[in-house]
Amino acid sequence: MFGTLRVLIPDLDPRDLDATADPPDDDLDEAMVDGADWSGRTLAGAGIRRSHLLGVTLTDATWRNVRLYGCRFDRVDFSGSRLDGLTIERCEFVGCRMTGVQLADSTLKNVVFDDCRLDYAGLADVRASGPVAWAGCTLANAVLTDCRLPAAVFADCRLAGLELNDCQLGGADLRGNDLSGISGLLSLREATVAASQLGDLAALAVRELDITVVEGPPVVSRG
């Protein structure tokens, strides 16, 4: 549970998984991949199902139209990877390094990002068709564009420099985060925040609406 959001996570039994280190050219099912180096590899039109990737290096990899279901990604390095057209369902990303990752035109459902680094990441046209949670993640200087995340929770995340462009976060739960350093006030329409965050939103509104704030009442000169 993340606040009031219930997210289904993968149900994996290590006894059902077959150890492998070979980079997949096609579907990968019920695999245990520990410490493999798949950096710079391309995977297209394939599926990875009910698998556990632990300490795998995927830096600068390219995945297109890949389907991920029931997987756990544990301390996987996705830095600089380009992920296009992914369908991610019932997956968990734990302690993953995703600095500069580019995730585009993808759908998420029952997905958890726990203690992941997504600084300088770019998410474009990412849709949440079910619950999605970012918990204890770094999204500093990340850019979200045309993302629709109505069933999302951001909990205890570092958001300094986060840029929201034409996103829809109505219904998303943003409590427990410092919102003062983000940009994209209109993308927060109908989101849920705590009363203690109203000062953050006021500072954001002043900055984005170019409001001049002065001390004291106006001086009125009477002739």
pLDDT tens profile 71-112:
999 999 999 999 999 999 999 999 999 999 999 999 999 999
pLDDT of residue 96: 98
pLDDT at 223 over 60: no
CB 103 within 8 A of CB 125: no
pLDDT at 53 over 60: yes
pLDDT at 8 over 70: yes
Confidence of residue 212 (pLDDT cuts 50, 70, 90): confident
> Residue range 169-184: average pLDDT?
93
Q: Are strands 143-145 and 163-165 parallel, antiparallel or unpaired?
A: parallel
Which contacts qualify for 187-193: CB closer than 8 Å, 24 or more apart?
Answer: 187/144, 188/164
pLDDT of residue 17: 97
Q: Are strands 42-44 and 163-165 parallel, antiparallel or unpaired?
A: unpaired
Distance in Å from the first CA to the final CA of the chain:
65
The pTM is what? 0.92
> Residue range 29-37: average pLDDT?
97
How far apart CA 158 and CA 178 sit, in angstroms, is 7
CB 44 within 8 A of CB 65: yes
Confidence of residue 115 (pLDDT cuts 50, 70, 90): very high
pLDDT at 176 over 60: yes
pLDDT at 209 over 90: no
pLDDT of residue 3: 66
pLDDT at 174 over 90: yes
